[in-house]
Chain A
Amino acid sequence: RRGNRRQAGGRGGVKGRGRGKKPASDDDDDEDDEEEDEAPRGRRGANRKKLAKKRGGNDDEDESEDEPPKRKRGGAANKKKGGKAQDSDEEDSDVGKGKKGKKGGGKKGKKEEEEEETKGKKGDGKGKGKGKGKDDDKDKKKKKKKDSLKTPLNSLTEVEEKKKLIANIRNKPWRMQRRLKLLKEAQEFVDKFEGALGKGKGRKWYAYKVMMTKKWIKFQRDFENFRTACIPWERKIKEVESHFGSSVASYFIFLRWMYGMNLVLFGFTFGLVVIPEVLMGLPYGSIPRKTVPRAEQDTAQDYSVLMDFNGYCKYSVLFYGYYNDQRTVGVLKFRLPLSYLMVGIGTFGYSLMLVIRTMAKNADVGGGDGEDSDFTFAWKMFTSWDYLIGNAETADNKYASITTSFKESIVDEQENQKDENIHLRRFLRVLANFLITCSLGGSGYLIYFVVKRSQEFATRDDLSWYEKNEVIMIVMSLLGLVCPPLFETIAELEDYHPRIALKWQLGRIFALFLGNLYTFLFALFDEVNTKLEEEQSIKNASIWAMKEYYANYSRLMNDSEATPPPMDPADVIRGPCWETAVGIEFVKLTVSDIQVSYLTILIGDFARAVIVRFLNYCWCWDLEAGFPSYGEFDISGNVLGLVFNQGMIWMGAFYAPGLVGINVLRLLSSMYYQCWAVMATNVPHERVFKASKSNNFYMGLLLLVLFLSLLPVVYTIMTLPPSFDCGPFSGKDKMFDIIMETIDLDLPAFMGTLFSYAANPGLIIPAVLLMPLKKKINPVLSLSQTRHLLFELSIRGIPKLQHGAEEKDEDDVALASSNPNARGPVSRPPGPRGPGPGPGAGPGRGRGRGPPPR
């Protein structure tokens, strides 16, 4: 019976308070005033209150039963209880209730509904009726009360309150029925009084404003959606991420970023160099540099020759040598040589800018490793489901990705909790680093030795360039094959977190590959030097021949008019054109790299997966679980492959403009191919780990490679003389002479004088002095960044520290109190904390590293 009664009370509470008390709560301020002014109303109010309190008693019991007192809003309930105790002070209780209604509006409504949900089912009609009856009663009283107050001022504020309620009613967590009812009441009220007060416009204006904000938000969101829709392969990468974790996805994101950058480089190169040359330059076969020499013409179309980028390929727009040194081409007077040089430099400038900007942006996003948030698991738990998902496949992916991300966090957590012999670990790490340094040094020496030996070979003339370098190639590829697994094995000793282990692995293999790069460049410069010598002799010979021809010509014809010798362009003697040779080397290298990496995937991953999958039916041991198993995705190898490939592109792009196009194709196909391969043939890593939020480590490697590849190119541009008979700079002493020439010839004279002034120390010194001024802006920027960091720290870090301290405090309290659940309400709001113990005082959890205090 008691349960029934209480239940009725509960239900009545819902309905009654919903209808009756909420309006009262919304205008409790003016109600205070009213009660001071109007005694009669107060009496009626008292009446009402008695009724309400009877019910309220029930309510309070309910509440105190299922509402533990530690809730910041519990304060309101206490206040209410206090009010009840002092029977005389009814206003207090009213205010308390009002406050509760207002402040804990959401809370209260929800809780009541909860009661309703849990108990309402069992509710019998009687209880319901009783509750309703009470409600009606109360409503009537309420109405009377409303009617009783007639002071315009009060009703004015009340009307405002009601209007606010009408505007906000959709934000209240109430049942629709209740909302509708309340709305009706409020509207009736407003209609009744608004006519008298004449304030109908406010609501419209408010509604208009609300509508506009809504529209603006919607627009922003649509725009954001549009922007994200423009990012390619988002779904593909998400799919990979959902199955393989963010570490594998970080490679694909890096690949995509690389593709974007190369696309821009491709746009520059083709738009400003290749296309103008094709459209406006001289056609194939018009001049010697654009013609296959007579000796090569027979084999120029052979497949093997083309695959080596000789024959027609060599004398095509893909390579440096094809470009003519005409100052301007076409009707537009496009300055092709200048554009060629500018694009060459611009490629580096743009890449450098982009890499650094991306790094800065990533660092801003949060350069920290993994999680630096307080609520990793809680957020994952409550906010990881994307409520937009409506497609079964996407949902499956989402489930997989949520599971993966939980696993990642679990790995991180276990890593944090790991406690073991620290001395042993340190010793092992030192040992591992020692071993790796040894092997790196060994391989470095091996490379050095081999290169030295090949230089000795170089004195012998019966070997081709390739044969001279064959030994180096074999050694290099052997090292590349043996060392990474060796490093990985040694890294097991260190027992790092997989994310950190990946970085070490990347750094070590990078150091190894630098040797590769070094030998390659060394060999290349060797070749360039021999070519330069060769060219010098050919140049002298051809100049000599030309002179002779002219001398003969003028002697025989008695005519000093110089007409070029009637010679087919294919027959002209020409130099070796070292630039094209370098370009061909880079293109060959890139293409063979593509072939090797694709074949590796096809054989190492796909064939292996097929064998493991199908041979497993008839094999002695379990192939899937046992030895060969399926391959894991090799993040470090792939990332480094990408980075070094990009280095090749940067170095080679100047001498082979077509290389950028090849690279774009490579990255594009690689995206699809590798996505397929990883999904089809690989298994997730044993310990799926979270990638660091920014892939700044990859970017750092890329930046290093950028500098390394910038050096040789700048060196060649600045010091080596361009070939005399091929390329856009033929006939100049240095490549950059083209800039001087443009300044002298194309810019108006005053610009030339301007430049000469600019070189004048009187101008340079002030400019140098102005530099620090500009620099002064930078510290301001960095200062604001520091402040930002500090701010971040203060909202993230310090609460955590305090949290740690508080936990300790509360543990003490828990020991003291007999019932740990019956602790007092949390008096402080959870958000901003007062000055707690300093960062050093509490055993904070730091930034998520190290074992948590226990």
Chain B
Amino acid sequence: MGNKQTTFTEEQLEAYQDCTFFTRKEILRLHARYRELAPHLVPLDYTNNPDIKVPMTLIVTMPELKENPFRERIVETFSEDGQGNLSFSDFIDMFSALCEASPRELKTIYAFKIYDFNRDNFICKEDLEKTLNKLTKGELTPEEVTLVCDKAIEEADLDGDNKLSFADFENMISKAPDFLRYRHLFCYVFIF
């Protein structure tokens, strides 16, 4: 922990610890990871909160996200500008939400956002089709895709508007068996 003075002030670390699910060590490690992505861009000294953003193309090369079919969406969702450029705060926010310790409610909220491709606050058929094609790499035939999307909406839609609101989504997720929820809903990406 020799470099903590040079990277963050004590206050910053405290604040980050309060705002995320990470320990001081993990935060420093995350910063190192963040810096690894763009060493020329990210300074070591973060005491004065520099306004620096790392573009999405670099973020998605991280081993935690590299294979994820939704990596672009995840990064976009957590970026302040919606374009996928992450400042360090966004970055640490993302990992905090993704980490093992974050509660299901929080994960559900973010998961909903991630699956809501067109950001209209509803997961509609279009979103579902995108999700499905990402998940199966487009291996299903169009009829199958339609069938699956229809069925998914039919199952989870409580109010009959043919799209999933957050309440529908939350209800559906909350009934999922634990192993699905914990392992597979948007859950802990390793960091270390």
Out of B15, B97, B148, B156, name the residue touching A406 (CB < 8 Å).
Answer: B148
Q: Which of B96-128 contact A (CB under 8 A)?
A: 96-98, 100-103, 105-106, 109-113, 115, 119-121, 128
Q: How far is the CA of A107 from the CA of B170 in the complex (A)?
A: 11
- Which of B19, B100, B102, B180 has the largest number of chain A CB atoms within 10 A? B19
Contact A383 B121 (CB under 8 A): no
Q: How far is the CA of A221 from the CA of B101 in the complex (A)?
A: 11
The interface-forming segment of B2-10, B29-37, B76-84 is B76-84
Contact B89 A111 (CB under 8 A): no
Q: Which residues of A contact B147 (CB under 8 A)?
A: 410, 413
**Is A814 interfacial (CB-CB < 8 Å)?**
yes
**Is A818 interfacial (CB-CB < 8 Å)?**
no
Contact B189 A388 (CB under 8 A): yes
Contact A114 B121 (CB under 8 A): yes
Contact A71 B165 (CB under 8 A): yes
**Is A746 interfacial (CB-CB < 8 Å)?**
no
Contact with B along A205-234 (1 / 0, CB 8 A): 000000000100110010000000000000
Out of A382, A387, A390, A830, name the residue touching B171 (CB < 8 Å).
Answer: A830
**Is B176 interfacial (CB-CB < 8 Å)?**
yes
Q: Which residues of A contact B144 (CB under 8 A)?
A: 406-407, 410
Q: Which residues of B contact A384 (CB under 8 A)?
A: 135, 184
Q: Which residues of A contact B28 (CB under 8 A)?
A: none
Contact A121 B175 (CB under 8 A): no
Q: How far is the CA of A348 from the CA of B50 in the complex (A)?
A: 72
Closest to A180 in B: B15
Q: Which residues of A contact B174 (CB under 8 A)?
A: 831
Contact B109 A807 (CB under 8 A): no
**Is A166 interfacial (CB-CB < 8 Å)?**
yes
B64 CB to nearest chain A CB (Å): 6
**Is B183 interfacial (CB-CB < 8 Å)?**
yes
**Is B90 interfacial (CB-CB < 8 Å)?**
yes
Q: How far is the CA of A173 from the CA of B18 in the complex (A)?
A: 14
Q: How far is the CA of A811 from the CA of B154 in the complex (A)?
A: 13
- Which of B83, B175, B187 has the largest number of chain A CB atoms within 10 A? B175
Contact A110 B109 (CB under 8 A): yes
Report if A388-B152 is in contact (Cβ < 8 Å); known contacts: A379-B176, A826-B158.
no
Q: Which residues of A contact B132 (CB under 8 A)?
A: 381, 406
Closest to A210 in B: B101
Q: Which residues of A contact B90 (CB under 8 A)?
A: 175-176
**Is A88 interfacial (CB-CB < 8 Å)?**
no
**Is A377 interfacial (CB-CB < 8 Å)?**
yes
Q: Which residues of A contact B105 (CB under 8 A)?
A: 106, 171
Contact B188 A388 (CB under 8 A): yes
Report if A387-B68 is in contact (Cβ < 8 Å); known contacts: A180-B15, A221-B100.
yes
**Is B46 interfacial (CB-CB < 8 Å)?**
no
**Is B136 interfacial (CB-CB < 8 Å)?**
yes
Closest to A113 in B: B113
Q: Which residues of A contact B120 (CB under 8 A)?
A: 66
Q: Which of A144-194 contact B (CB under 8 A)?
A: 166, 169-173, 175-177, 179-180, 183-184
Contact B181 A218 (CB under 8 A): no
Q: Which residues of A contact B159 (CB under 8 A)?
A: 70, 810, 823, 826
Contact B140 A171 (CB under 8 A): no
Contact B166 A71 (CB under 8 A): yes
Closest to B76 in A: A117
Q: How far is the CA of A390 from the CA of B128 in the complex (A)?
A: 24
Contact A170 B136 (CB under 8 A): no
Q: Which residues of B contact A753 (CB under 8 A)?
A: none
Contact A377 B155 (CB under 8 A): yes
**Is B142 interfacial (CB-CB < 8 Å)?**
no
Contact B82 A381 (CB under 8 A): no
**Is A118 interfacial (CB-CB < 8 Å)?**
yes
Report if A403-B63 is in contact (Cβ < 8 Å); known contacts: A70-B159, A374-B175, A381-B148.
no
Report if A378-B106 is in contact (Cβ < 8 Å); known contacts: A107-B166, A388-B189.
no
Q: Which residues of B contact A830 (CB under 8 A)?
A: 158, 167-168, 171
Q: How far is the CA of A413 from the CA of B135 in the complex (A)?
A: 20
**Is A402 interfacial (CB-CB < 8 Å)?**
yes
**Is A628 interfacial (CB-CB < 8 Å)?**
no
Contact B189 A387 (CB under 8 A): yes
Contact with A along B144-162 (1 / 0, CB 8 A): 1001100110011011110
Q: Which residues of B contact A298 (CB under 8 A)?
A: none
Report if A385-B69 is in contact (Cβ < 8 Å); known contacts: A67-B121, A173-B106, A374-B155.
yes
Q: Which residues of B contact A680 (CB under 8 A)?
A: none
Contact A390 B151 (CB under 8 A): no
Closest to A831 in B: B171
Contact B148 A68 (CB under 8 A): no
Out of B89, B101, B115, B167, name the residue touching A177 (CB < 8 Å).
Answer: B89
**Is A600 interfacial (CB-CB < 8 Å)?**
no
Q: Which residues of A contact B15 (CB under 8 A)?
A: 180, 183-184
**Is A375 interfacial (CB-CB < 8 Å)?**
yes
A211 CB to nearest chain B CB (Å): 10
- Which of B21, B135, B168 has the largest number of chain A CB atoms within 10 A? B135
Q: Which residues of B contact A820 (CB under 8 A)?
A: 160-161
Report if A381-B128 is in contact (Cβ < 8 Å); known contacts: A173-B110, A387-B189, A389-B67.
yes
Contact A375 B82 (CB under 8 A): no
A51 CB to nearest chain B CB (Å): 26
B34 CB to nearest chain A CB (Å): 13
Out of A111, A171, A385, A399, name the residue touching B184 (CB < 8 Å).
Answer: A385
Q: How far is the CA of A413 from the CA of B178 in the complex (A)?
A: 25
Q: How far is the CA of A235 from the CA of B146 in the complex (A)?
A: 32
Out of A114, A176, A385, A399, name the residue touching B89 (CB < 8 Å).
Answer: A176
Contact B93 A814 (CB under 8 A): no
Q: Which residues of A contact B103 (CB under 8 A)?
A: 171
**Is A386 interfacial (CB-CB < 8 Å)?**
yes
Q: How far is the CA of A173 from the CA of B100 in the complex (A)?
A: 16
Contact with B along A100-133 (1 / 0, CB 8 A): 0000001100110010111011000000000000
Contact A390 B66 (CB under 8 A): yes
Q: How far is the CA of A253 from the CA of B16 in the complex (A)?
A: 46
Q: How far is the CA of A169 from the CA of B17 in the complex (A)?
A: 10
A13 CB to nearest chain B CB (Å): 15
**Is A73 interfacial (CB-CB < 8 Å)?**
yes
Out of B68, B140, B168, B176, name the residue touching A383 (CB < 8 Å).
Answer: B176
Q: Which residues of B contact A387 (CB under 8 A)?
A: 68, 98, 183-184, 186-189
Closest to B115 in A: A382
Closest to A399 in B: B137
- Which of A184, A218, A402, A820 has the largest number of chain B CB atoms within 10 A? A402
Contact B67 A391 (CB under 8 A): yes
**Is A563 interfacial (CB-CB < 8 Å)?**
no
Contact A170 B161 (CB under 8 A): no
Contact A73 B148 (CB under 8 A): no
**Is B92 interfacial (CB-CB < 8 Å)?**
yes
Q: Which residues of A contact B137 (CB under 8 A)?
A: 399, 403
**Is A86 interfacial (CB-CB < 8 Å)?**
no
Q: How far is the CA of A807 from the CA of B21 in the complex (A)?
A: 41
Q: How far is the CA of A620 from the CA of B19 in the complex (A)?
A: 70
Contact B140 A406 (CB under 8 A): yes
Q: How far is the CA of A118 from the CA of B120 in the complex (A)?
A: 9
Q: Which 5 A-B pairs have the closest CB atoms?
A: A176-B89, A395-B67, A117-B82, A830-B171, A377-B152
List 14 additional contacts besides A175-B89, A175-B90, A387-B183; criterion CB under 8 Å.
A68-B161, A71-B165, A71-B166, A110-B112, A169-B19, A175-B93, A176-B19, A376-B155, A381-B148, A386-B183, A387-B189, A406-B132, A409-B148, A826-B158
A-B contact pairs, 20 of them (CB 8 A): A67-B121, A70-B161, A111-B121, A114-B119, A170-B21, A173-B97, A175-B90, A179-B19, A218-B101, A374-B155, A377-B148, A386-B183, A387-B98, A399-B137, A403-B136, A413-B147, A807-B160, A810-B159, A826-B159, A830-B158
B residues near A, CB below 8 A?
15-16, 18-21, 63-64, 66-70, 80-83, 89-90, 92-93, 96-98, 100-103, 105-106, 109-113, 115, 119-121, 128, 131-132, 135-137, 139-140, 144, 147-148, 151-152, 155-156, 158-161, 165-169, 171-176, 180-181, 183-190
